[in-house]
Structure 1
Amino acid sequence: MTDQPAKVTATDVARLAGVSQSAVSRVFTPGASASKATIEKVRAAAEKLGYRPDPLARAMITGRTRIIGLVVAYLENQFYPVAIEHLSRVLQSRGYHVLVFMAENSTEKVPQVVQELLDYRVDGIITASVAMTNDLTARCRAAGIPVVMFNRGQDDAGLSEVTSDNVAGGRRVADHLIATGHRRIAHIMGWQGSSTGRDRARGFTEALREAGLQPFAMIDGMYSRDEAAKATRALFSGPDRPDAIFVGNDHMAFAVMDCLRFELGLSVPGDVSVIGYDDVPLAAWPSYNLTTLRQPVRRMVDATVEILLNQIEGETTPSRIRIEGPLIERGTVRERTGT
């Protein structure tokens, strides 16, 4: 039987580098301070000895895993891969790593995933478009694990959340369509079981009402491409048709445009204008060139990380952040005309 080589320890690195063991610990602890000379000596010694710090051992000592659990409902919508990339980069720059779990918005799957994250002893949890029940919130509080909701709100004063200002965004879309001469404006809404879908619809209808208009139609598209295409067919099945459609997110808006152009033979924006919400990368592609309300994803991510890390450090006051985004005008809304 071959003897296993002895494991290299921080003590070995300290001895070779001529520094204390605490100096080695500081060099390999994110956020800790050490002089440039100490860092160079320790890293050179570690490389020569083949030393790698043991994060599990450190977690047992500090009580921190420096892992953030991220719970996501789905990735089909381009907005979420973009947001996850930004979240990962920002958290890594702060010395944390991300553990991603997929979970449907169901009473069975979300509690199971949250319990698994608690079992992994994550330092905090970010939920992206996933609902949290009062029971789950209480469970996380009891475990001392802070939770921040990203791109979703909830009627729970104890939860922190970061979203774009969806009410203001819905109003801005309606104002733009009214200003460009549209009067028969339909809304294929985001899922009305979500705060984002409800708030965008609310801002949209408020702006129309102030202009003396009523929505041509309000249909729940469920944040689904198939449902959005079905809604489009219904809107254009008779002689009375909308002259514009506000779609609750870009993911659905692409399905709406494909249906209008390739199934119904209509021109966008010649026959009907279309506005989306999110401004995902695909919206700028020439094939769609979609006018859309941009979610300020980088600022949303920065705010989410700041709130979560502050809570990990002991901040107890929940935060509710709403960040306004601009309307990005491209080619799916007709030019401004008179009323």
Structure 2
Amino acid sequence: MAKTGSSTRKENFANTKRHVTSYDVALHAGVSQSAVSRCFKPGASVSKKMRERVMTAVKEMGYTPNAIARGLITRRSNMVAVIVSNLNFYPEVVSELSARFTERGVHVLLFTLDHESDVSRTLERVWQYQVDGVIAAAHFSPDEIVTFEERNVPLVFYNRSYEDIPVSSVSCDQVGGERALINRLTKSGQHKSYAIITGPADSVVSMQRTQGAIDRLHESGVTDVTQVTGDYGYKSGRRAVQEIIELRGSAPDAIICANDMMAFGAMDELRFHLEYDVPGDVSVVGFDGVRAASWSSFDLATVAQPVESMTEAAVSMLMDRVDDQSLPPEKRVFSGVLRDGSSVRN
């Protein structure tokens, strides 16, 4: 039996051992090369019949799109960098960002910082990849931000805001969230003495949350406030509780933590090592609203950030500026949601 043209053509490509191109697929499917390209471009207008025709040819020919070649044509790498300070505290955010970029056919390069002061060395690595844009959950200096303008690389900050610098950002209302937590603690009238476990000294988010808490406590007439420093980690929450009690001589009525992870450490140190009852003896609150906060073993009172809305906004803002770099900077602030929990006594 004579072989069909399509099967013969497929065998010929296999025999020559050369890569199948979009031109080959177009010829095999009887369509234009631009039609093949549109089938692999997210959001492009392609009829169902055309897509089925092209995809059948793709399967028969064993075609795989060449991302590098496509980047040369569009003058884009189809890659973005996501820079986060300490991945341990942003897994849900990174997952959401990755999913949203994938929907747009964009690849994510993840860069993590042990300390926010490590930004300059990380940026040297980022520039090597010719990324189309950057989302950063870390603090940049004014000079580092200017570098993005000089290189024409769009930049959007996640959960970082700059009042005096024209740069795009998506953030949670840190101060408003802390005020809601303090209101929750003070409304019962049972908390007279407080301690605050801050994040790292170079964390802008920690500074905003800490200052928001202190200001609201002072407005409420509270003067008995002890402040110690953590590093956002679980172990530092446990260490901070020990330091608080050493400084005070006893536990305060309430401990305010700059994030949920340190709150978990503080609760466990109080309950399992120092044998305090939470919240009977000491109330504990956090900030972020990570999934573990709702677990029965913690049931932490915290402020949940609207991660899905914030990541969608960050991705949309960045890709809009990749498409049109003349767009002005945009700042969006999302309100957190107070999540009450049994870690605070009524």
What TM-score comes out, normalization by structure 1 length?
0.92
SS at match of 1:277: coil
Can you list the C-alpha shifts for 1:285-330, whole angstroms capped at 9, x where unaligned? 1111111111111111111112111211224322222211111112
Shift, 1:239, TM fit: 4.3
SS at match of 2:287: strand
Alignment gaps of 5+ in structure 2: 1-13
SS at match of 1:19: coil
Answering whether residue 58 of structure 2 is matched by residue 58 of structure 1, we say no
SS at match of 1:76: helix
**Counterparts of residues 315-334 of structure 1 (less than 5 Å):** 315-334=326-345
Shift, 1:106, TM fit: 5.5
Corresponding residue for residue 271 of structure 1: 281
**Counterparts of residues 117-266 of structure 1 (less than 5 Å):** 117-128=126-137, 130-154=138-162, 157-181=165-189, 182-237=191-246, 238-266=248-276
Corresponding residue for residue 20 of structure 1: 32
Alignment counterpart, residue 31 of structure 1, candidates 31, 36, 43: 43
Corresponding residue for residue 291 of structure 2: 281
Corresponding residue for residue 6 of structure 2: none
Can you list the C-alpha shifts for 1:120-178, whole angstroms capped at 9, x where unaligned? 111111112x2212332222222211111112234551322211100001111111100
Corresponding residue for residue 113 of structure 1: 122
| Equivalent position amino acid for 1:142 in 2 | E
When the two chains are superposed, the root-mean-square deviation of aligned CA atoms in Å is: 1.9
Shift, 1:115, TM fit: 2.6
8 Å CA contact 2:134–2:156 kept in 1: the answer is: yes
Rate the CA distance shift 1:104–1:178 in 2: closer, same or farther, 3 A: same
SS at match of 1:278: coil
SS at match of 1:37: helix
How many pairs align? Answer: 330
Which structure: greater helix fraction?
Answer: 2
Query: What is the alpha-carbon distance in structure 2 between the residues aligned to residue 89 and residue 174 of structure 1?
Result: 35
| Equivalent position amino acid for 1:21 in 2 | Q
Query: What is the alpha-carbon distance in structure 2 between the residues aligned to residue 50 and residue 3 of structure 1?
Result: 13
Query: What is the alpha-carbon distance in structure 1 between the residues aligned to residue 57 and residue 205 of structure 2?
Result: 52
The farther-off stretch of 80-89 and 224-233 is: 224-233
Query: What is the alpha-carbon distance in structure 1 between the residues aligned to residue 182 and residue 224 of structure 2?
Result: 10
Query: What is the alpha-carbon distance in structure 2 between the residues aligned to residue 4 and residue 42 of structure 1?
Result: 23
Give the ranges of 4+ consecutive aligned residues of structure 1 lying more than 6 Å apart after TM superposition: none
Answering whether residue 19 of structure 2 is matched by residue 7 of structure 1, we say yes
8 Å CA contact 1:253–1:275 kept in 2: the answer is: yes
8 Å CA contact 2:196–2:255 kept in 1: the answer is: yes
Rate the CA distance shift 1:74–1:4 in 2: closer, same or farther, 3 A: farther
| Equivalent position amino acid for 1:185 in 2 | Y
8 Å CA contact 1:65–1:123 kept in 2: the answer is: yes
Alignment gaps of 5+ in structure 1: none
Query: What is the alpha-carbon distance in structure 2 between the residues aligned to residue 170 and residue 223 of structure 1?
Result: 16
8 Å CA contact 1:131–1:154 kept in 2: the answer is: no
Corresponding residue for residue 299 of structure 1: 309
The farther-off stretch of 163-172 and 212-221 is: 212-221
8 Å CA contact 1:170–1:199 kept in 2: the answer is: no
